[in-house]
Amino acid sequence: MNRTSPAPRLIFHNGTAVLPDRVVPDAVVCCEGGRITRVGRARTLPRDAKLVDAKGGYVTPGFVDIHVHGGDGADFMDGTTDAVRTACRAHARHGTTTIFPTTTTGSPAQLSAMLKACVEVRRDGNVTEGARIAGVHFYGPYFAPDKVGCHSQAGRRDPDAREYRRHFATGIIRIATCAAELPAAEAFYREAKRHGCLVTCGHSNATWAEMARAFRAGMRHVDHFWCAMSSVASLRQRCGTPMQASMEQFVLAHEAMSTEVIADGCHLSPELLEFAYRQLGPRRLCLVTDANRALDMPPGRYRFGCAADGEWIESDGRVGFVPGGGALASSVVGLDTMVQKMKAMTSASLPEVIRMASLTPAERAGIAHDTGSLMPGKRADMLVLSRQLRVRRVFVGGDECAA
């Protein structure tokens, strides 16, 4: 992938601009120095600018993925700059311009290597690297033992302050997950909050009471709704009767809580996607890929997590699953597919669907001042989509990514 040298002025025209609350037909979006300067109706186009013809399609903000493990054969947990670059490029082809590489369970050394590789790729900046790393989502290893899912059980552990303080000290962690019922989870949440992170609970069988304690410690988000999280039924097994409210009820009942869905059409049925959209609304619901390394790879067996010792999963080209068992093991498609499916399967409007893939995750991750919508002053992280919402062109900070 190469980026053309940055044009001093860039003008998108002949398309419908998608704003968070409406569309602007026949819009022009002007950019200068890598930032958006104006969004409005078409008028005479200046001659000295580089024109981007949307050909009657949509001009939208680039997508922001806050939960993503890899793509094109690479997992971020491989821990090399090559792997990080490969995955970031793959996701840019699917419209992601801002990415939060996501850890999984693994040894402390594997986590350190992953964080170091992401720091290096982010620092080297203006490269031909596709999606821009805004921070790391520190996701594994602090999962509940009974909710590890497709991740390596050997790489799971309880929060260890000596370990996570070292990881936070890299300065690149912006989103931090821990299962709320683990010993000392609250100390982890407080430390994550001190570092300015979006604090999240995932791979957890937490009760309402544990969620309430976590909330007081700063937890405000739950990973992949309905996947690897507690339910009334799972808590009846854990706690008996009376039946208990779960993570699901806790998120739905608290305005300050957000969550995310894997809208690939394989993880959740259309009515669950519609339910999440209607109950939470587009400001509290993010679209994520949760994609593994099998994205853009042929069907087959792949390691989830580090190439050396990650768990084996299988891809049929539509979704990942645990070999033999049938349990799902994250997605193998990009945010472009999630956007298309969410639009097709729910009553959400196009501005709402695009918001769930851009502005909402940007707001939750604390980067909405910089990216996530077509607003003067923000980075020119932009897409040209066809009327069928297929990715035609991708711009990161005004530079075009070419696959």
d(CA 395, CA 379): 10
The two three-digit tokens of residue 298, written as one number: 């042929």
d(CA 199, CA 218): 6
Stretch that binds Zn ion, among 284-292, 293-301, 313-321, 395-403 (CB under 5 A): 284-292
Tell me the closest approach of the beta carbon of residue 288 to Zn ion, in angstroms: 8
Number of residues counted as binding Zn ion (CB under 5 A): 1
If one asks whether residue 260 binds Zn ion (CB under 5 A), the answer comes out as: no
Is 295 in contact with 95 (CB distance < 8 Å)?
no
Closest Cα partner for 237 from 317, 146, 299?
146
If one asks whether residue 290 binds Zn ion (CB under 5 A), the answer comes out as: yes
DSSP strand pairing (198-201 vs 58-61): unpaired
Give 18 or 222: the residue with its C-beta nearer to Zn ion: 222
Give 260 or 296: the residue with its C-beta nearer to Zn ion: 260
Give the sign of the dihedral formed by CA 261, CA 263, CA 268, CA 269. Answer: positive
If one asks whether residue 264 binds Zn ion (CB under 5 A), the answer comes out as: no
Stretch that binds Zn ion, among 26-34, 39-47, 119-127, 290-298 (CB under 5 A): 290-298
Stretch that binds Zn ion, among 76-84, 92-100, 289-297, 372-380 (CB under 5 A): 289-297
d(CA 247, CA 200): 12
Tell me the closest approach of the beta carbon of residue 295 to Zn ion, in angstroms: 13
d(CA 392, CA 220): 35
Tell me the closest approach of the beta carbon of residue 332 to Zn ion, in angstroms: 12
List 45's β-bridge partners, or say none.
Answer: none
Tell me the closest approach of the beta carbon of residue 361 to Zn ion, in angstroms: 14
Is 10 in contact with 398 (CB distance < 8 Å)?
yes
Stretch that binds Zn ion, among 50-58, 243-251, 283-291, 351-359 (CB under 5 A): 283-291
Tell me the closest approach of the beta carbon of residue 104 to Zn ion, in angstroms: 7
Give 201 or 359: the residue with its C-beta nearer to Zn ion: 201
Give 65 or 290: the residue with its C-beta nearer to Zn ion: 290
Tell me the closest approach of the beta carbon of residue 69 to Zn ion, in angstroms: 6
The per-residue b/e assignment along 279-300, b for 16 or more CB within 10 angstroms, e otherwise, is ebebbbbbbbbbbbbbbbbeee
Residues that bind Zn ion in the complex, under the rule CB under 5 A: 290
